[in-house]
Amino acid sequence: MPRDRGQPHTPYFAALNRLLRAEGPGRPVLLIDLERLERNLERVRATFPRHAALRVVNKSLPSPKLLEHVLKAAGTRRQMVFHLPFLLQTARLFPEADVLLGKPLPARAVEGFYRDLPPTGFDPGRQLQWLVDTAERLGQYLALARGLGVRLRVNLEIDVGLHRGGFPEPAALAPALRLIRENPERLEFAGFMGYDAHVGKLPGFLEKPEVSLAKSQAAYRAFTGYLRSQFPDLWSPGLTFNGAGSPTFRLHGEGSPLNDVALGSALLKPLDFDLPLLADLEPAAFIATPVLKVLEGTTLPGLERFAPLLSRLNPNWARTHFIYGGRWPARPVSPGGLAENPLYGKSFNQAVLNGSGRTALEPDDYVFLRPYESEGVLLQFGDLRVVREGRIVATWPVFSEEA
């Protein structure tokens, strides 16, 4: 027989529950705990590679006010942007930003950026690096630059072991670097981006994390070495050598080839970032949703006669809670012991969470869930509710899918 896993809200979530019952909108919201976020920022800054600049990942913190808060506290204007509408909004709202694209965009999207670029003072010729993964795409960008009469700064995506595309080996750079060298009026070489998200994620019997890291850094050095030896005229001290991310930024010490390190999700620490290297960071983003109904027992359609037996066999099915909304990429964290019923089915409208009587939930109480990722999830609830010292101190809008 399963043990009773039910627990009432912890003091932290009990306080948030009282706050939302009194001041919440009565619908699902995304909470940002500003105190936890700021503590995470302090811990990140204390352990950040000293030789590298911090680049904040825009998609992981997709709210202009949230980004503004983080950028100011971190003392950086560097952002990594992945989505065309977000890029246009970044140019409008952060005209001083230093932007590196996090993925290669179709030439059609690049054309749309220049067509819709707002007149805010953001200068893409100085402040924007387009990510390019092949010589063929670079050729498309060159044709576009000629047609638009602009000069594009180009950062080349290199494969350092993740095998998600990009230039697979140093010699493969030659056609792209020659194209840049031969067209200085339209193209400028800005650096490399090599993402190492695979480090630490492979099963240990395949490859140990320290081996993956060493191989990744050796690959990066091979690319920079090729650039210096074969295209010394394109080398300059101001080049951007970007890489890492929230799971790996602390691995890039003084010997790392990177001078530009990206992170974002670590500051909110969603569930996928419960990693040993981030153990000192605190979850700072939660979905909070009201309980609509609380029913005794678990009664399933067609199995009504078994309802008393189900509750006796599993104390965690003693109560059925219908919540406002559901089916988010998230896991309930408070009250303890709540779980989806595998037999009832999933719902976007009124999800079912079973729990024991010890959860003590009543209608209009809130259930709190931790999202697995911050990107995407933060965009689903309208304005973010920002809490500090037990109060809602701000509502921050999120980026729009429309530029």
Query: Residue 194 domain-assigned?
Result: yes
Range of the domain at 122: 35-267
Domain identity same for 203 and 191: yes
What radius of gyration do the chain's Cα atoms show? 25
**Whether pLDDT at 310 is above 70:** no
Residue 272 within a domain: no
Q: How confident is the model at residue 307 (pLDDT cuts 50, 70, 90)?
A: low
Number of domains in the chain: 2
Residue where a domain terminates, one of 267, 291, 311: 267
Q: 22 and 135 share a domain?
A: no
- Per residue in 158-203, pLDDT (tens digit) is 999 999 999 999 999 999 999 999 999 999 999 999 999 888 777 8
Residues 168 and 301 in one domain: no
Calpha distance 354→284 (Å, rounded): 25
Q: What is the pLDDT of residues 5-26, one digit of tens each?
A: 889 999 999 999 999 999 999 9
Strand ranges for 58-198 from DSSP E: 78-81, 98-101, 128-132, 152-157, 187-194
pLDDT band for position 318 (cuts 50, 70, 90): confident
- The CATH number of the domain holding residue 154 is 3.20.20.10
Classify 339 as helix, strand or coil.
strand
66 φ/ψ angles, rounded to the nearest 5 degrees: -65, -45
Give the other-Cβ count within 10 Å of 1's Cβ. Answer: 7
Q: How many CA atoms lie within 13 A of 97 on its CB side?
A: 28
Instruction: Return the CATH number at 291.
Output: 2.40.37.20
The answer to whether residue 197 sits within a structural domain is yes
Task: Of 33-47, 90-104, 337-351, give the lowest mean pLDDT range.
Answer: 337-351
Query: What's the confidence (pLDDT) of residue 296?
Result: 85
**pLDDT value of position 402:** 82
CA gap 84, 67 in Å, rounded: 17
SS3 293: strand
Q: What element of type H or E holds 291?
A: strand 285-296
Please count the other Cβ atoms lying within 10 Å of the Cβ belonging to residue 283.
18
- Let me know if residue 327 belongs to a domain: yes
Tokens (6 digits) for 124: 């893409």
Q: Is residue 277 part of a domain?
A: no
Same domain, 256 and 303: no
Do 240 and 302 fall within a single domain?
no
Distance of CA 76 to the CA centre of its chain: 18
